[in-house]
Structure 1
């Protein structure tokens, strides 16, 4: 799932964007000023697909933040402004922004811009190789998972595929039908317990307490969620 970091000092705008983008299958991280934005950037910089910067903020401005983002990452940037002055647009683009939208704008327009930018930059984004969580490392290239000592876990191909899907969607509640479709290519019937057996086995491999699991949690009536913090890297 693509992760987008948004900074805007208007709470109504933040909530509206988060709701709309999440409905369109994006993960959204919000911040309300420059200080909170930089803290979130530090936490999520390697996982971000896009950044959206409001130009006018209470403690700084979007131009200063754009400059700081570019010092740390090549993640695509969209800037939002209430000003119709072309100078603002030129300054933002010169600082490294990829696009500029004037307020007021519709969420549909912003979504279209996001999709266009991500299509253009997709070939430039290096593929993720490693997912790291609570001492474990999942290596997509070698298709293996190792513990903190570097010892490979004994996982079947289906186990690896299931764990891969969990870490790629960490924090998202996944229902049974989605998990079965992604790992087996088919939906599960109401009496099909194979997914539960597989998840139980995966918990054992990860030393995740079956009675009170901390990594793969059951959400009653909804499915499962991978609750560990996951960090990614390209090499």
Structure 2
């Protein structure tokens, strides 16, 4: 099963999301912390597979790129506020695989985590060719 880490400086938002994801019984473990420095320590310690990180925090810190460089298999989901949707180029620039709103329904957030799990695998062209009809 999957360990998920929530990184959000807003304690109320972070704890609410942690409670929702824990209650879903979809993950082995749901952890949370206030910032990327603490997240960096938790990733290896708890074998985190997907990190949900506050989009504003991610865009203001180069630490996310360092974390991704050290953990290329880590899936990243950006947590947006009430407004704002990033295009796929910006997501990729930030090192993220998916995005969701903090206010989204738990199943929508779980779907974003699943997208990040798949996205982090980065299957090779040969493997993708087996699943594509044209195979090219």
Tell me how far apart the structure 2 counterparts of residues 65 and 102 of structure 1 sit (CA, whole Å): 22
Tell me how far apart the structure 1 counterparts of residues 122 and 84 of structure 2 sit (CA, whole Å): 32
* Residue aligning to 1:2: 2
Which structure is higher in RCO with an 8 Å CA cutoff and minimum separation 6? 2
**Which 4+ runs in 1 deviate beyond 3 A?**
119-124
Choose which of 58, 79, 88 in structure 2 pairs with 1:62: 58
Contact map agreement 1:53 1:62 (CA 8 A) in 2: yes
Q: Which runs of 5+ in 1 are unaligned?
A: 125-235
**Is 2:35 the partner of 1:37?**
no
* Residue aligning to 2:52: 52
Q: What SS is found at the alignment partner of 1:48?
A: coil
Q: Which runs of 5+ in 2 are unaligned?
A: 124-136
Tell me how far apart the structure 2 counterparts of residues 85 and 110 of structure 1 sit (CA, whole Å): 14
Tell me how far apart the structure 2 counterparts of residues 2 and 94 of structure 1 sit (CA, whole Å): 25
Q: What SS is found at the alignment partner of 2:96?
A: coil
* Residue aligning to 1:72: 70
Q: Deviations over 1:31-65 (max 9, x none)?
A: 01233223323533xx1211111023xxxx21334
* Residue aligning to 1:96: 95
Residue 123 of structure 1, CA deviation:
8.4
Residue 13 of structure 1, CA deviation:
1.9
Contact map agreement 1:79 1:100 (CA 8 A) in 2: yes
Q: What SS is found at the alignment partner of 1:91?
A: helix
Q: Structure 2-normalised TM-score?
A: 0.69
How many equivalent residue pairs? 117
Q: 1:85 to 1:41 in 2, by over 3 A?
A: same
Contact map agreement 1:52 1:78 (CA 8 A) in 2: yes
Tell me how far apart the structure 2 counterparts of residues 55 and 39 of structure 1 sit (CA, whole Å): 20
- What do you get for the CA RMSD once the two structures are aligned? 2.6
The 5 Å alignment of 1:1-235 reads 1-23=1-23, 24-26=25-27, 27-44=29-46, 47-56=47-56, 61-63=57-59, 64-74=62-72, 75-82=74-81, 83-84=83-84, 86=86, 90-119=89-118, 121=120
